[in-house]
Amino acid sequence: MKTTLAPKAGFCFGVKRALDLAMHTAKEEEKKIYTLGPLIHSPQVVEDLSRKGLKVVQDIEDIPEGVIIVRSHGVGPEVFVRAGEKGLKVIDATCPFVKKAQELAKKLNEQGYQVIVVGDKEHPEVTGILGWTGNQGIVVETPEQAESMPAMDKIGIISQTTQPEENFNKIVSVLKEKAADTITYNTICHATRDRQDAAVELARSVDVMIVVGGKNSANTQKLARLCADTGTPTYHIETAGEINRKWLSGMELVGITAGASTPDWIIEEVRSYMEDVTSQENEKMQLEEALSVKELRKGDIVRGVVVQVGDDEVLVDVGGKSEGVIPMRECSCCDIRSPKEMFNVGDTVEVAVIRVQDDEGKILLSKRKADAEKAWDELAQAVTDKNVVQGVVMEVVKGGLLLDVGVQAFMPASLVERGYVEDLSKYVGERLQARVIEVKKESRKVILSRKAVLEEEYSKKRAALWEEIEEGQVRKGTVRRMTNFGAFVDLGGIDGLLHVSEMAWYRVGHPSEILKENDEIEVFVLGVDKENEKVSLSLKKIIPNPWDNIEQKYSTGQVVTGKVVRLVPFGAFVELEPGVDALVHISQLSQKRIGTPGEVVSVGEQVTAKVIDVDSEKHKISLSIKELAEKEPEAHQPEAQQDEVTETVLQEDVPAPTIGEGLDPETHKKLMEKVEETAEEEPAQVNPNEEKPAE
């Protein structure tokens, strides 16, 4: 007997958080501590907490003073109000997923929606959620109840966090026909959904299922019901002491899962018990096999142990008078070069008896026929139940892959991955999971799709990511696609837009200047719009701003070198470093009077200039080239004429290109302030054919 523990079994995040808060409170508080109802649905854990001083009460009025711990199921707002009136200290251990459902219920109610909670009417979590609607919400447990409801103007639907997804979706489908204005929030905890899916998948592959958890736990009851619905015998227990050995008699595969309130030590106790039973059963089986010789008949499906693997045959001990032989042609449904590709000495295999005794007195066996006999029924059932099957890729053929799933199955190239695969040979020898999309036994045809499995995993991953992604996070992603306006980054199921303006502190003309497709990068989450499924990202938020502490790098009077990156009518912009551009006003380009900056400098030219002003707050640096040039005698300009010129310049939107020579420092400063107001970057020219971000 083999025992397998389902993934995600045991404490969920919300329960563990509540328990940690309770343990910390018991350690730190000197006052009496109470929990409003059992903290979690595990009598063993509640008893342990009681020994540590945590008393369970059913009503807040039963608490005279001290500390109240709100359990993970949450409560209505009236409990918090009453606790304040009684002067009680409140430790809120409400599960974050439940808290989210409460907030949404309150919001929908305030917006005039009839709130409908999909869940169990008597469950404390649902009772608490209803409290946040002013007890105006309605609870629906089944699609039939939803069908009987009258039409309404506005419906807002949320879910108990532990609801099975299938039931929620069916009810939502019915309710959407009841109102023109319907808002749906899937508030099912993704950890609960994953736990249920893992338990069901395991139940379908074992002979018996053991579900461990409190008998009064709705979460565990649902697990047991879902496992039983697969047709596998299922037993709900709280401790290993409740296991009846008759449940395990003759069973080869036993699956174990546990509810969200089940502590690890109880799960381990059940596993240890199973291992003891397995050890005893193995000893008994070995003794029985040693004392008996099987009578074999043609067509029997028997189990044996590989004792020798040759180049063209395999010897198997099936408990007969002699060892059986599997010829190479009977090893697999697919062509193989040698049995050594499939078998190792000591392997346990199921084989079909083709002939009890051949000309040489050997028992002739076939693994191919045994696999096929079992596989056809399983494949047909997999289509009905939408189960996942596994198979080994045997070879690449025209249009796809051939897999051994007990029989030969074909997987079209278009159904191997979510996207196009150029080289299929890398899958040969790999074990792949797939959905069975077509089975025809009479024509020995089986069609598989791995893409369907990957799409489901992608959807779950995407849903989980939408639950956890928030503004302000730094996340890893992969650059998938670039456009003129930015790059789309895959965050692991969600594509976020990294706009070109958020790629660097300097001006980026096209994303390809700093990124390429399939780059792995870290990005800052600027904004999250869950309703429209949009995420905006930034690179420059997680890299240093070159203007920080700029005055420590550049100071008045310092001589610097940079590259001319842009010419405008009033001067030239010089890049001192990526992200830091300084302005050389036209009046500071030359000792001579000039009409345009292009008469003195050109884009791309390296120039040396003197820093004449640094404004860290406005991110502006002013340079002068002429102050480094050899001074030439200047014609004296009468003061009255100077004032007239200055006044004219300051009245214009853009300074006249010839103004500036011979101005006194105060006038020059006023002139520069006016120029800086108009020195914003010129708007980019828009190409009407350029791809634009989706609205």
| Distance from C-alpha of 451 to C-alpha of 228, rounded to nearest angstrom | 28
Query: What is the DSSP secondary structure assignment for residue 308, as one 8-state letter?
Result: E
Burial 598-634 (b: 16+ CB within 10 A, else e): eebbeeeeebebbbbebeeeeebbbbbbbeeeeeeee
Token output for 52: 């540590």
Query: Which residues sit opposite 156 in a β-bridge?
Result: 115, 183
Sign of the alpha-carbon torsion through 516, 518, 523, 529? positive
Query: H or E segment at 315?
Result: strand 313-317
Question: 295: Cβ–Cβ under 8 A, 6 or more apart, which residues?
Answer: none
Q: What values do phi and psi take at 330, rounded to 5?
A: -100, 10
The CB density around residue 666, as the number of other CB atoms within 10 Å, is 9
Give the span between the Cα atoms of 379 and 364, in whole angstroms.
Answer: 27
Residue 653, SS3?
A: coil
Q: How many CB atoms lie within 10 A of CB 123?
A: 19
The count of residues in the chain is: 695
Which residues in 466-490 are b (16+ Cβ under 10 Å) and which e? bbebeeeeebebebeebebbbbbbe
DSSP state of 631: P
Distances (CA, A) of 357 to 296, 300, 324, 329, 529: 10, 14, 9, 18, 72
**Do residues 401 and 393 lie in contact, with contact meaning Cβ atoms separated by under 8 Å?**
yes
Instruction: For residue 488, give the nearest of 513, 523, 458 by alpha carbon.
Output: 523
Token couple for 83: 């606790």
Count Cβ atoms below 10 Å from residue 71 Cβ, excluding itself: 27
Check 29, 47, 65, 125 and give the catalytic one: 125
Q: Which residues contact 288 (CB under 8 A, 6 or more apart)?
A: none
In this structure, what token pair is assigned to residue 164? 């099975």
Whether 125 is catalytic: yes
**CB 667: neighbour CB atoms within 10 A?**
19
Asked if residues 557 and 616 have their Cβ atoms less than 8 Å apart, the reply is no
Q: What is the largest CA-CA distance in the chain?
A: 128
Q: Which residue has the tokens 């010897």?
A: 315
The Cα 490–Cα 504 span in angstroms is: 19
Beta strands 114-118 and 313-317 are: unpaired
Distance CA 256, CA 238 (A): 12
Indicate which residues carry an active-site annotation.
Answer: 125
